[in-house]
Amino acid sequence: MFNVAIFDDVRMIRDEVIEILNKRFEGRFNYITAPKAPDLIASASVIDILIMDINIGSSKAQNGIEIAERIKKNNSNCQVIFISGYSEYAQQIFDARPVFFISKPIDEEVLCQAINISIDNLVKSRAHRFSYQKESRIYIVSLEDIMYFESNRRIVKIYTTDGMDTFYDTMNAIEDRIKEDFIRIHQSYLVNPRYISTFMGNEIILNDGTVLPVSKPRMANVRQELIRLFTEE
């Protein structure tokens, strides 16, 4: 299931897009309702596919492009599909890294082609992302940006290159999801090996100087996993 946001100030266009998607991709999408641009931007982290009109009634024709760029900044995996009745804007959209530019009136086959490309991209990217829920919001982080997890019972701290956040889960459940890319060094720690600079005795040191304990029962496995991962690279 993917979350789709359709942002066009013409209701007939919005209804047309939803009708096509429901007909050709039945049951595959949830639709995000965002009546205004700030609402759309606030929902950036949960938008999988953004179908965006470039000219949304503002005096600035690029307004739709700017909104899409802000959403991509907050959610780099969001797939952007621009639609517009003005083909001259096609050269102005590259900073938003769109999947497709579709001219109005919308061609059903072209829209479906753009959606299929978006789905393929999302399926590939989801294999390299970690999602967690905090209160009523879902956050998505690239595995490459996660340095390590630390747990205290069901309270989990996630340390990324952008900082630290907390959520509720179990370390065993997290490990099951990402064990191919992370190493369990301790009951309370799960580490991304790309950030390990030194493994010595009962400690590992990360690139930023963080020192984490390695439990005695896990030492041999940690050593073997590090050898395996770096040999594969």
Domain C-terminal end among 96, 126, 156: 126
Looking at the fold, whether 61 and 115 belong to one and the same domain comes out as yes
How would you list the strands of the sheet with 203-206, edge to edge? 196-200, 203-206, 211-213
Place of tokens 């390695």: 214
Residue 89 is predicted with a pLDDT of 52
Looking at the fold, whether 220 and 172 belong to one and the same domain comes out as yes
- Greater confidence (57 vs 15) lies with 15
Looking at the fold, whether 158 and 51 belong to one and the same domain comes out as no
Q: What percent of the chain stands above pLDDT 70? A: 89
CA distance 153 to 160: 20
Residue 195: closest CA among 211, 180, 179: 211
Looking at the fold, whether 43 and 111 belong to one and the same domain comes out as yes
Q: Where are the alpha helices (DSSP H) in 25-62?
A: 37-42
Least confident window among 114-128, 172-186, 198-212: 114-128
Domain C-terminal end among 126, 156, 185: 126
Question: Which tokens sit at 181?
Answer: 């890319």
pTM above 0.85, yes or no: no
Residue 92 is predicted with a pLDDT of 54
CB 84 within 8 A of CB 101: yes
Examine the pLDDT at 90 and tell me if it is beyond 60.
no
User: Phi/psi at 84 (nearest 5 deg)?
Assistant: -165, 150
Looking at the fold, whether 109 and 13 belong to one and the same domain comes out as yes
Question: Computed over its alpha carbons, how large is the radius of gyration of the chain?
Answer: 22
Least confident window among 148-152, 167-171, 180-184: 180-184
pLDDT digits (tens, 9 = 90+) for 105-128: 899 999 999 999 999 888 877 767
Mean pLDDT of the chain, nearest integer: 86
Looking at the fold, whether 142 and 95 belong to one and the same domain comes out as no
How would you list the strands of the sheet with 189-191, edge to edge? 163-168, 155-160, 146-152, 189-191, 183-186
Residue 59 is predicted with a pLDDT of 46
Q: What is the DSSP string of 125-172?
A: HHTTEEEEEETTEEEEEEGGGEEEEEEETTEEEEEETTEEEEEE--HH
Looking at the fold, whether 179 and 151 belong to one and the same domain comes out as yes
Q: What percent of the chain stands above pLDDT 90? A: 42
Q: Going by C-beta distance under 8 Å and a sequence separation of 6 or more, which residues neighbour residue 164? A: 157, 158
Place of tokens 């340095």: 147
Question: Which tokens sit at 31?
Answer: 């639709």
Looking at the fold, whether 97 and 140 belong to one and the same domain comes out as no
- Greater confidence (138 vs 13) lies with 13
| The total number of structural domains that make up the chain | 2
Looking at the fold, whether 17 and 90 belong to one and the same domain comes out as yes
- Greater confidence (227 vs 204) lies with 204
Least confident window among 1-10, 36-45, 92-101: 92-101
49: containing domain: 2-126
Looking at the fold, whether 189 and 97 belong to one and the same domain comes out as no
Looking at the fold, whether 119 and 10 belong to one and the same domain comes out as yes
Looking at the fold, whether 75 and 170 belong to one and the same domain comes out as no
CB 172 within 8 A of CB 207: no
pLDDT digits (tens, 9 = 90+) for 28-79: 898 987 778 888 898 888 899 999 888 775 544 447 888 888 898 888 889 9
Provide the CATH number for the domain around residue 26: 3.40.50.2300
* Average pLDDT rounded to a whole number, residues 162-181: 92
Which three-class secondary structure state does DSSP give residue 184? strand
CA distance 181 to 170: 17
> What separation in angstroms does the CA of 18 have from each of 41, 45, 71, 98?
20, 21, 21, 20
* Average pLDDT rounded to a whole number, residues 141-150: 92
